[in-house]
Amino acid sequence: MQTKDSDRLRERILDSIPVGIVTYDSQGNVTYVNKVAESITGYNLDEIQSFQNINHVLNGDAEIFWKTLQSGQPFFGFESYCPSKSGIEIPVVTSTVPLLDDNNEQVGIVATFIDNSEMNRLRAVEEHASLILDHISDGVVTLNTEGIITGFNRGAEEITGLSASEVKNRKFEDVFPLAQLVLDKLHETIHTGRECKDLKAEIKDKQDRARFMLVSTRVLRNRNHTVLGVMVTFKDVTIQELLEEQIRQSEKLAVIGELAAGTAHEIRNPLTSVKGFIQLLDRKYENDAPEKEYFRIILSELNRVNDIIREFLLLSKPTVPNLRKIDINSVMEDIRTLMTSDALLHNIDLQFELSKTPAICEVDVEQIKQVFINLIRNAFEATGLNGKLTIAINTGMEECEICFMDNGPGIPKEVLSRIFEPFYTTKNEGTGLGLTVSYRIIQNHGGTILVDSEEGKGTTFRVRLPLARN
């Protein structure tokens, strides 16, 4: 009686555990099936027992079952499929352990399995979601409440140059230590729930290049409104930002150009007569008269005004240059002749690396020379005595690039953003027009001027000009 009761109790327990249980004897025949196993597979005990054999479990798994049966080695939690009456294979997580008798002799195996369909469905949803995320070109990063990166889509990989595997499970601030503005917003969102939209921020990519982003943050909550973390999205607007900057620059130039055209001549003409009269006056004094010094100063100041006007006038030059086809290498040869004595005077090591193939461009030679001289003068002024300037010409398929690499002090960031502005100068004697004029000229030639500069290392100006078509 006692044993009957406890048998029934045991059976009830085995049936109420939400795990399918099947036991096999040492020949691999089914000896026991619990109710859960019946409901998962849709077969009843008799039907399952009629299969009789371990081999009815799906192909690959049978091996594992036999292994446990023959060597007593258990296997835990392997994912597989179990046959069902409806013909659908049901995803399950299975474990097999040896079944021992009172003498610790193996008499069969116990296989337990849990229905894994829900897990598989979730996994499919997750895969689907990440597929969608990867097709968004914006960067999407998810963080948990500790600020640890839990998701990093392909857009984020492309924008930052970092791969998801190298940033996942790391703290956001360790991966992007310089994005302070974004970090502050993230903390704010995590701690106060305040979200931000389209905040403009600058981040550095793997090559240390500045990228401009519009950043938005969003609190991630589950169905019970518990905060799970934050989602940060960022849209790369670097190109738009650069274009806008160029437009601003061109607009400024256009205004200055008009101004120059209208006023420069008006100033220059009276200046010429003032200069003439001063020279006349100057002649009236003896060589040792103290007034002579005043005239010298007046004349030198007038010359300086004249220099400014001359550069200023360049800005108003007709926008259509006087074009002819010429090898930039030969233009550079002229420049070499012109600047070598200057370089010697300042004790500057001036090197030329001309291109092996001709760099034929259609340019206004005088204007292009003016640009090269401006850039060389700037480099000389930056490096001071004992500097070094290397000028290299390289030709590509569509354009040629003329690099001016100096080893001067470099340009601080706040200066760098302004050097092309008219009248912006950091020099006592500067006009702040050299680069403005150069920019305008190169722009009129369909080219670009780029600048890389690192403080303490030097500055490189790159002039790119389109090669002439045959």
Ligand X SMILES: Nc1ncnc2c1ncn2[C@@H]1O[C@H](COP(=O)(O)OP(=O)(O)O)[C@@H](O)[C@H]1O
DSSP tally for the chain: helices H, then strands E: 15, 17
Give the helix/strand (H/E) hosting 405: strand 399-406
Tell me how far, at minimum, the Cβ of 433 lies from ligand X, in Å.
Answer: 6
Q: How many angstroms separate the CA atoms of 419 and 438, rounded?
A: 11
Tell me how far, at minimum, the Cβ of 327 lies from ligand X, in Å.
Answer: 25
Q: Which does 72 bind (CB under 5 to 8 A by kind): Mg ion, ligand X, none?
A: none
Scanning 77-85, 196-204, 427-435, 450-458 for contacts with Mg ion by CB under 5 A, the matching segment is 427-435
Q: Which does 382 bind (CB under 5 to 8 A by kind): ligand X, Mg ion, none?
A: ligand X
**Which ranges constitute the DSSP H helices of 209-237?**
none
Scanning 86-94, 131-139, 294-302, 428-436 for contacts with Mg ion by CB under 5 A, the matching segment is 428-436
b/e code 398-416 from CB counts within 10 Å (16+ = b): ebbbbbbbbbbbbbeeeee
> 231: which strand partners?
142, 218
Residue nearest ligand X by beta-carbon distance: 434
230 class by beta-carbon count within 10 Å (0-12 exposed, 13-18 middle, 19+ buried): buried
Find out whether 203 and 215 touch, Cβ atoms under 8 Å: no
Residue 227 one-letter amino acid:
V
Tokens coding 147: 């600020």
Does residue 229 bind Mg ion (CB under 5 A)? Answer: no
Tell me how far, at minimum, the Cβ of 314 lies from ligand X, in Å.
Answer: 12
> What residue has token string 């420069």?
264
Judged by beta carbon, residue 217 or residue 459, the one nearer ligand X is: 459
Q: Which does 412 bind (CB under 5 to 8 A by kind): ligand X, Mg ion, none?
A: none
Find out whether 170 and 147 touch, Cβ atoms under 8 Å: no
Q: How many angstroms separate the CA atoms of 148 and 168, rounded?
A: 8
Tell me how far, at minimum, the Cβ of 390 lies from Mg ion, in Å.
Answer: 19
The DSSP line for 345-390 is: HTT-EEEEE--SS--EEEE-HHHHHHHHHHHHHHHHHHH-TT-EEE
Judged by beta carbon, residue 91 or residue 432, the one nearer ligand X is: 432
Residue nearest Mg ion by beta-carbon distance: 434
Tell me how far, at minimum, the Cβ of 432 lies from Mg ion, in Å.
Answer: 8
CA distances, 406 to each of 135, 206, 243, 348, 380 (Å):
44, 25, 27, 10, 8
Judged by beta carbon, residue 355 or residue 378, the one nearer Mg ion is: 378
Q: What residues make contact with ligand X under the rule CB under 6 A?
A: 374, 378-379, 382, 406, 408, 411, 415, 419, 424-427, 430-436, 459
Does residue 434 bind Mg ion (CB under 5 A)? Answer: yes
Tell me how far, at minimum, the Cβ of 434 lies from ligand X, in Å.
Answer: 3
CA distances, 377 to each of 200, 334, 340, 406 (Å):
37, 15, 12, 11
Judged by beta carbon, residue 33 or residue 449, the one nearer ligand X is: 449
Judged by beta carbon, residue 385 or residue 397, the one nearer ligand X is: 385
Q: Which does 216 bind (CB under 5 to 8 A by kind): ligand X, Mg ion, none?
A: none
User: Which residues in 136-155 contact Mg ion (CB under 5 A)?
Assistant: none
Tell me how far, at minimum, the Cβ of 433 lies from Mg ion, in Å.
Answer: 7
Tell me how far, at minimum, the Cβ of 162 lies from ligand X, in Å.
Answer: 32
Judged by beta carbon, residue 37 or residue 314, the one nearer ligand X is: 314
Does residue 422 bind Mg ion (CB under 5 A)? Answer: no
Q: Which does 419 bind (CB under 5 to 8 A by kind): ligand X, Mg ion, none?
A: ligand X
Q: How many angstroms separate the CA atoms of 442 and 39, rounded?
A: 80
Judged by beta carbon, residue 332 or residue 435, the one nearer Mg ion is: 435
Judged by beta carbon, residue 378 or residue 407, the one nearer Mg ion is: 378
Those residues with Cβ within 8 angstroms of residue 324's Cβ, 6 or more apart along the chain or in another chain? 362, 363, 364, 365
Binding mask 371-410 for Mg ion (x = CB under 5 A): -------x--------------------------------
The 3-state secondary structure of 49-75 reads: HHHCEHHHCCHHHHHHHHHHHHHCCCE
Tell me how far, at minimum, the Cβ of 283 lies from Mg ion, in Å.
Answer: 34
387 class by beta-carbon count within 10 Å (0-12 exposed, 13-18 middle, 19+ buried): buried
Find out whether 430 and 420 touch, Cβ atoms under 8 Å: no
Judged by beta carbon, residue 161 or residue 430, the one nearer ligand X is: 430
Tell me how far, at minimum, the Cβ of 232 lies from ligand X, in Å.
Answer: 37
Q: Is 286 helix (H, G, I), strand (E, B) or coil?
A: coil
Judged by beta carbon, residue 400 or residue 405, the one nearer Mg ion is: 405
Residue 380 one-letter amino acid:
F
Scanning 22-30, 243-251, 430-438, 439-447 for contacts with Mg ion by CB under 5 A, the matching segment is 430-438
Tell me how far, at minimum, the Cβ of 434 lies from Mg ion, in Å.
Answer: 3
Judged by beta carbon, residue 370 or residue 378, the one nearer ligand X is: 378
- Residues at the interface with Mg ion (CB under 5 A): 378, 434
